[in-house]
Amino acid sequence: MMNKKIKFIKKESVRKQKIMRKVNYKECGITLVALVITIIILLILTGVTLTTALSQNGLFKRAKTTVEKYNLESEREYLGQNVISVQLGKYLENVSSERLGDELKEKNIENSYNWHIVKVENTGKQYDNGWYYVEKGTELSGYGNANYNWLVNYETGEIIQLEEGKYKSWSAGDMLAVKDNLIINIDSSIIDKGTGQSKEDIEKQLGTGVELHNFSEEGTNESGLTSTSFNFDGVDDYITIQYDKQEQKEALSKQGFTFEFYGSWNLGNNYWISNNEKFNGYCNGLFYYGIKDSNEWSWFRFGIVHNNGNASNPGIEWSVNGGYKQCRELSDYCHKSYQWNVVNSLSETEFEPNKPCYITITLDTSKSQNKNSENGVYSDGSSFNKSGEFYSYKCYINGKKVYDADFNKVQWDIFTNELLNSFNCFTIGRINEEYENYAWNYSKLNCYALRLYSKGLSEKEVEANYKKSTEYHALLESN
């Protein structure tokens, strides 16, 4: 009997253990499910929180905006305290009266050497007399560097924040051009000085070795420096630039050249050198490189061509060592019959007489490229097969590239090896060319900017020069 009871108890114990194990398993299962659900809910909440925080009006954005607003107002408050200090300094001793930033001055004859103005684009408003320009990065004593651009008027107490990219700051003597390898620059560095300067003063600004020939010192719309342009009369005005140092010639040889002209052209005059008699030619010269005061043919030259005095549909022609026919005909857009290396038609551009135009030609000789039986094109549109090494030359009109082609390396090598060493002077405003006889070809120009470089400018550099020069000329015209 006792054994039966023991067996029963054992069975009952085993049954209870099984039941307990089942209960435990069940509880465990419920716990895992709850855990998974909890994790999912937390992930959803986290995602919603992050989305809210990172959204356009989220927490992070609002926090950043709040910090920026605080910094802006903090800087404005610092400037305001400086204004109060300056105003008190007029009446109290030992109070700082130092004004921050650059003093603005309107552009006029009196301020011809130190004017500075700011123009806000969206309003068109100009700020000058009575205002100070505090540029971003200006050191603010006891505060740090300015993080924003400001206008401050110490008389009225006005403080204006300038939005980045929404205004222009212009001042006397701004160098608008790319500076590297610049041979001559005519732009704001002399034009913004206004009229009434002597020939010697202008020559100093243009650089060592520069001479002005036959320009009117009074400055008229026909000749000399006015308040908006530098004018060539097309009769006898020209500029010479001494260029004879070995390092100068090496720069030209290894890197090429760029010529830029911004302004308006209205033909000019052609004279036989032998008797100074005027005749109707087909070309007016803009620059050449050769021997100073020599009557010999200009081997390295650039001009504007037309139909014997008819200025409709002109073009540009430039030549380096053009007389060597055996290699000039391997460069794209070369002239098959005459002594010009490159002939670019401007008939489909905005280039017209008496209409402002920005012309840039570049020849980059810093690197060459091998061609093998590729197609080239003559100026008349016919094609030819070319092979050998070529440099890149480009022509831009009003900042846009209109020609992108190859220039025969053999041509440039003949120039640098046989002619470059004897040359000593650039001439702007005329060229010497051979018709039936040798002749001087002058250009009549209203020049807003004119530059010559001993390197081929990149497209970005050409674009920068174009933008700055046209903006500056618009500023001169508006004043």
The residues spanned by each domain of the chain are: 2-54, 67-171, 182-478
In the prediction, which pLDDT does 134 show? Answer: 93
Phi, psi of 228 (to 5 degrees): -130, -10
In the prediction, which pLDDT does 227 show? Answer: 81
Q: Is 121 helix (H, G, I), strand (E, B) or coil?
A: coil
In the prediction, which pLDDT does 380 show? Answer: 77
Least confident of 56-65, 90-99, 143-152: 56-65
Residue 259 has pLDDT above 80, yes or no: yes
118-142 per-position pLDDT tens digit: 989 888 788 999 999 999 988 888 8
Mean pLDDT in residue range 282-292 = 89
- For residue 363, what are the β-bridge partners? 257, 393
Mean pLDDT in residue range 300-321 = 79
Q: CA 430, CA 278: separation in Å to the nearest integer?
A: 14
pLDDT band at 103, cuts 50/70/90? Answer: very high
Are 442 and 267 a contacting pair, CB within 8 Å? Answer: no
Least confident of 3-12, 213-222, 264-273: 3-12
For the record, the structure tokens of 360 come out as 């840039």
What single string gives the DSSP state of each residue in 301-355? EEEEEEETTEEEEEEEEEEESTT-HHHHTTSTT--SSSS-SEEEE-TTSS--TTS
Query: Per this entry, what is the length of the chain?
Result: 479
Phi, psi of 18 (to 5 degrees): -65, -40
What single string gives the DSSP state of each residue in 352-415? -TTS-EEEEEEEEEEEEEEEEEEEEE-TTS-EEEEEEEEEEEEEEETTEEEEEEEEEHHHHHHI
In the prediction, which pLDDT does 175 show? Answer: 63
In the prediction, which pLDDT does 371 show? Answer: 85
Q: Is 253 helix (H, G, I), strand (E, B) or coil?
A: helix
Residue 8 has pLDDT above 50, yes or no: no
Residue 209 makes CB contacts below 8 A (sequence gap 6+) with 241, 242, 243
In the prediction, which pLDDT does 171 show? Answer: 78
In the prediction, which pLDDT does 1 show? Answer: 52
150-168 per-position pLDDT tens digit: 999 999 999 999 998 888 8
pLDDT band at 361, cuts 50/70/90? Answer: very high
Inter-CA distances, 306 with 67, 313, 324, 328, 382, Å: 64, 7, 24, 21, 21
Most confident of 36-40, 167-171, 258-262: 258-262
| Percentage with pLDDT > 90 across the chain | 29
Q: CA 103, CA 88: separation in Å to the nearest integer?
A: 19
In the prediction, which pLDDT does 278 show? Answer: 92
Are 297 and 438 a contacting pair, CB within 8 Å? Answer: yes
Which helix (H) or strand (E) segment holds residue 461: the answer is helix 459-478
Residue 67 has pLDDT above 50, yes or no: yes
Q: Is 90 helix (H, G, I), strand (E, B) or coil?
A: coil
In the prediction, which pLDDT does 424 show? Answer: 92
Mean pLDDT in residue range 466-473 = 87
331-355 per-position pLDDT tens digit: 888 876 666 778 887 765 667 788 8
pTM attached to this predicted model: 0.73
Mean pLDDT in residue range 204-228 = 87
Phi, psi of 213 (to 5 degrees): -120, 120
In the prediction, which pLDDT does 187 show? Answer: 82
365-415 per-position pLDDT tens digit: 999 999 887 788 877 778 888 888 999 999 999 999 999 988 888 888 888
In the prediction, which pLDDT does 410 show? Answer: 86
